[in-house]
Amino acid sequence: MASLKWWETAVIYQIYPRSFQDSNGDGIGDLLGITSRLDYIAGLGVDAIWISPFFASPQKDFGYDVSDYCDIHHEYGTLVDFDHMIEAIHQRGMRLMVDIVPAHCSDQHLWFTESRQSRDNPKADWFHWVDPLDDGSAPTNWLSFFGGRAWSWEPRRQQYYLHNFLPSQPNLNHAHPEVQEAFRDIARFWFDRGVDGFRLDAVHTINADSAPYRNNLPKPDFVSGILPQQQQPFFRQLHDTAQLNQPAIQQFSESFRAVADGYDGDRFLMGELHGDDAVLASQTFTAEGRLHATYNFNLLEWGGLDVAGLRQAITDAVEAFNNSGRLVFAFSNHDVPRSVTRQLGALGLSSEHQDALQLLLLKLEVSLVGSSCIYQGEELALEDVQNIPVEKMRDPWGIEFAPNFAGRDSCRTPMVWQSDTPHGGFSDAEDIWLPQGEGHFARAALEQAATAESVYQQFSAFLHWRKSQPAMMQANYMTALSGTDGQIIFDRVSDTQRLRCCFDFDHLDASFEEA
């Protein structure tokens, strides 16, 4: 069996930098704060760290609106701080992935401020500019993820521009060769500083296909649900027909991959994507010469999944990608409610089962083929922070649909490190950018890391055991799922080991036996 590359079995720890650790007392997490907590992350036994965007940005979508891809937002630090951080990460035997946003930038980026001035400037075609229809309306029925139309009017050009998210996040035109070269330069800039890979945000929303722009079709099987995001008109459309997952996106994937392949050390490209057919989209994006892997959303269902749903989600993904490292699983991230909150509700369990369920989910995730991403706080079984007052909300998506929808602030609240200090040791500022959850103080990170039998300690022990198992580390093959209604059972198989993995949701425990 040929040895696998590091990213084919990696456990990756995701940091939301604004909420991890503040080092300078402004109430906002930063790069030096991350550096100060690296021993805590390394002690867990993960292989790599992924940090959500820290680039220069007006922070209207908290870093996912970039105004300079090659500089650090002043609230997070400097390039010197970054260089110090990555050196410290590598010294501890971990790798670093940064979060590049290729589909759109901020309307304050110099590219867009120039492009919007006229139809004949050097950046005029770097974005999607379209004339209005005869009646003055937008060129298509495309809708924004965050509500409203995906087109906004620019009086200076007398044209509409495209934005799949906020109006302040204009979509780049990746059909333009100079845009393609600009992103190759961005990749080289960070690879040259030692970055080991990129998490590529929302690559399915890259727009590169030229006019004529076509309307999205209605979704024939749409069912309105109780969650506000299901009630949004956006979810009533099929998007792969026109707006998203366009074939020309792969020009970007191939171009970016060519840069990565020019560096030593197995640089890793992980693409986040959705789609009307997510498995098919993932296969397309990870075809030869494109992205190495896609970030799989099967287990990130907003309302959680029962055991049958978990089994089906895993099966759908594994059937397409078994015996490969082209898949990255996650139960939680900065965009959905925390995993234990979602899954307690979906499985009909009470909070007394919080620790046992979280540990079971973590063990299940890192036992699947491919790599996996753990979101900060999962190792502590942190729950979502409920009932954040509207006046303290920061997420633009949540603010748009408040008070019926909590948005994403509930999973982004600052970490609690010590239960007996102001703001839990996150910051010594008088005010911090988001309120913390009272329940998180009983799960303070440094205290849990020092407590035997905590979720942190048990998961750390499991990760160290996992690294000694050939079936998990030397091959990416698993058998079809089996078990009773309350179980998920499969075998991980390598040339030298067959390991029976059983996850029992009736008793909330896992067992592993050589078969």
Residue closest to 15 by CA, chosen among 94, 83, 71 = 94
Other Cβ atoms closer than 10 A to 430? 9
418: Cβ contacts below 8 Å, ≥ 6 apart: 424, 425, 444, 446, 447
* Token digits of residue 7: 């990213």
Alpha-carbon distance 109 to 127, whole Å? 12
Residue 453 a catalytic site member: no
> Which residue type, as a one-letter code, is found at position 427?
S
Other Cβ atoms closer than 10 A to 320? 17
Q: Which of 47, 61, 196, 201 is catalytic?
A: 201
> What is the residue-wise DSSP string for 145-169?
TTSSBSEEEETTTTEEEE-SS-TTS
> Which residue type, as a one-letter code, is found at position 339?
S
> Which residue type, as a one-letter code, is found at position 174?
H
* Token digits of residue 48: 């790599």
Residue 335 a catalytic site member: no
Other Cβ atoms closer than 10 A to 350? 7
Alpha-carbon distance 144 to 85, whole Å? 36
Residue 212: is the preceding peptide bond cis (ω within 30°)?
yes
Contact (CB, 8 A) for 308 and 505:
no
Alpha helix locations (H) across 214-351?
A: 228-231, 249-261, 278-285, 307-321, 339-347
User: Angle formed by the axes of helices 354-367 and 455-466, to 10°?
Assistant: 20
Q: Which of 81, 272, 378, 384 is catalytic?
A: 272
Chain centroid to Cα 165, Å, comes to 16
> What is the residue-wise DSSP string for 4-68?
PPGGGS-EEEEE-GGGT--SSSSSS--HHHHHHTHHHHHHHT-SEEEE---EE---SSTTSS-SE
Catalytic residues: 201, 272
